Structure 1
Amino acid sequence: MVKKIWIDCDPGHDDALAILTALAYPEKLKLLGVSTIGGNESLDKVTNNAKNILHLLNAKVPLIPGERGPLVKSLRSAPEAHGESGMDGIEFVENDYPISKTNLIEYWYQLLIDSIEPITMVAIGPLTNLALLLKTYPEIKTKIEAICLMGGGIDHGNITPAAEFNIYVDPEAAQIVYQSGIPIVMAGLDVTEKSYLTRLEIDQLKQHGSISQKIYGLLDFYNKSGRQFGFEVSPMHDLCTIVYLLNPEVFNGKNYSIEIVTDEGLTRGMTLADLRKKPVVKNETFVLLESDREKYVTYLMESLAYFDQKVSMKEGQ
């Protein structure tokens, strides 16, 4: 059975690879659309990045911008990680991929109401858009099969010692989502930092087809940028959500009751798991903890090969 999904993102190098991989398995995943949220960069920049990657892949799905920033505070973006454009390392051609002017929350509501099967929401940026949907239309929860998100970390953070970037940007929104009662799969730093590409694997893309060569540019920049944070390899954070939906057996995880710290101070944005021997279960979340890295990488490589072949066939016509 094909799983219906929607990707809410802030592209972002790893966001781009999540979109690419979702589109490469049409027999397993039906991507209903892509929405954007101010996060890695401003809403305008990340929407432009989404537009460019969708055009590159010859996608035919709606692209709808969401909120410019968090529910409460100003946006904290991350140009130090993704470059000034939010997705440095590749030059896209000018294109007219359509950007919808419709209201995202209203569109989501109608999409969910009209869908016979429940839809899985893939959230790989700050959770502001989803929080607004759940606060505006709480009755829609039964139409969402699950929320598969990249965010948080049980063991540590990255933007601060305690908090991961996506959750830190809008912890108030994250708390709304985590308390929603909708099944949540959390791909946090505990697993995403173990789900990486090596420098050799990145360099090998130069020998493949035209899409792989373009993605090489993205990953070359991303790998070099990551070294300032102490990484020799390149964690593919957001891609974990899509690979999990394609094959949950790539990962091991555990159920935890999670609370989001919204207080000011050193722990703001922390995903606080109840690790006591007898935890008080409130908002149980399935937290991914380990991945089979070789299988993980195979899904990305197969996705790149899929698009390399599509481009080659088109050029041969």
Structure 2
Amino acid sequence: MMHKVLIDCDPGHDDATAILYAARHLDLVGVTTVYGNQSVDKTTANALSILTLLGLDIPVARGCDRPLNGIFRHGGDVHGKTGIDGAELPAPARGPVDAHAVDFIIDTAKQHRGELVLCPIGPFTNVALALRKEPQLARWLRGISVMGGTTQIGNTTPVAEFNVWSDPEAADIVFRSDIPLWMVGLNVTRKVGLCEQDVARLSEGGRVARVFGGLFGFFRNQLREIHGLDTASLHDPCALVPFIAPDLITYRQAPVEIELGQGPARGMTVCDFRNLTTRKLENIKPRAPANCSVAVEVEDRALVEHILAAILGWPDHAPAAAAVPSPV
């Protein structure tokens, strides 16, 4: 049976790819938007434009415009003034639904009890507020798979990844929810990237592929200039891999805590991979129970090719309500 997925996102170049990848292989029942790579007004417009480009009639609900602590900093340094610079997207064929993203998440999970996987691939504010508002949500969801955090170096600070750093208090609520949780962080997603030849392949493809070629040409240049990377990272689609191609990413069970202090470690995902015994020691903190499946290894080239195939194989003239192409 095809997995039901709701993506909570801040498009974003890699968010756009995650939407396509999910629609190609899963039952994508909705998209909710949040501030992050740009303002929520821009990320919502971007989500609607991507769905129009892909010919998909999937509901979009606009969400939070700032983190729980009220201090909003967007990721335009990397993703550009629109949040998805590099290509001209079509004007949205429709607007967002009337419901706020928080209520849309709750209502969708209630409708699909025990079936829905929630995939936050932007700041976690919408999801945290939904968990606060509806105590039953944790029981209704099948699981949460996030793109966020890292077991190694960060991208926004030396130790913090952008999505978690943007709202650590919200991330903390999600990681303490006792919902089955998958985390794929920068330690894995930075290995999954499009090189110059990959971007060229997209740019020589059909209409949809050419748009993504332009987007990733811009994104690759930004990451090279800012972070010294040679590829355009496909961060967000990696959150969908456990439900599409589970053999391509290896996970390890571990306790994960979010650093909430105001110092240089704020937003760090503290992953405890120590192999401690049950022996009680005076000066060694015991290992907490695992709350997360943490991505530790990836078949990077195989995953890049799998995502490229989804983009290159997307039909260029799909009508708005058409069924998506069947998985191979």
Cα contact 1:259–1:283 (8 A) shared by 2: no
Secondary structure of the 2:77 match is helix
Equivalenced residues, count: 310
Aligned to 1:244: 242
* Structure 2 counterpart of 1:299, from 306, 313, 327: 306
User: How far 1:207 moved relative to its partner?
Assistant: 1.8
Q: CA RMSD in A?
A: 1.6
Does 2:97 align with 1:90? no
For the residues of structure 2 that align with 1:56 and 1:24, how far apart are their CA atoms? 14
The corresponding residue for 1:6 is: 6
Q: Quick one: structure 1 residues 153 and 301, their matched pair in 2 at CA, closer, same or farther if it must change by over 3 Å?
A: same
Q: Partners of 1:205 and 1:305 in 2: how far apart?
A: 7
Counterparts of residues 1-317 of structure 1 (less than 5 Å): 1-25=1-25, 29-228=26-225, 229-278=227-276, 280-308=287-315, 311=318
How far does the alpha carbon of each residue in 1:51-105 deviate from its partner, in whole angstroms, 9 at most, with x for none? 1101100111110011101001311111110001000011123233221121222
CA shift, 1:298, in A, is 2.1
TM-score of the superposed pair, with normalisation by structure 1: 0.94
Q: Deviation per CA, 1:194-223: give whole Å up to 9, x if none.
A: 111111111122221111111110010001
Distance 1:305 1:220 in 2: 16
Larger helix fraction of residues:
1
- Looking at structure 2, the residues matched to 198 and 305 of structure 1 have their Cα atoms a distance apart, in angstroms, of 15
Please tell me the residue identity of whatever aligns with 1:101. Answer: D
| C-alpha spacing 1:116/1:131, structure 2 compared with 1 (3 Å) | closer
Residues 36 and 75 in structure 2, CA contact (< 8 A), matched pair in contact too? yes
Question: Does structure 2 conserve the Cα–Cα contact (< 8 Å) formed by 1:212 and 1:308?
Answer: no
Mapped contact 2:52–2:90 kept (Cα < 8 A) = no
Rate the CA distance shift 1:116–1:270 in 2: closer, same or farther, 3 A: closer
What is the alpha-carbon distance in structure 1 between the residues aligned to residue 69 and residue 92 of structure 2?
A: 34
Matches of 2:202 and 2:318 in 1, distance apart?
15
Alignment-mate amino acid for residue 202 of structure 1: V
**Structure 2 contact 33–101 (Cα < 8 Å) conserved:** no
SS in structure 2 of the partner of residue 191 of structure 1: helix
Gaps spanning 5+ residues in structure 2: where? 277-285, 323-328
* Matches of 2:60 and 2:71, distance apart in 1: 24
Q: Which amino acid aligns with 1:303?
A: A
- Once the 2 structures are TM-superposed, how far is the Cα of residue 107 of structure 1 from its aligned partner? 2.6
Taking the aligned partners of 2:112 and 2:203, their CA distance within structure 1 comes to 41
Unaligned runs of 5+ in 1: none
Q: Which runs of 4+ in 1 moved over 4 A?
A: 309-312
Aligned partners of 1:210 and 1:311 also within 8 Å: no
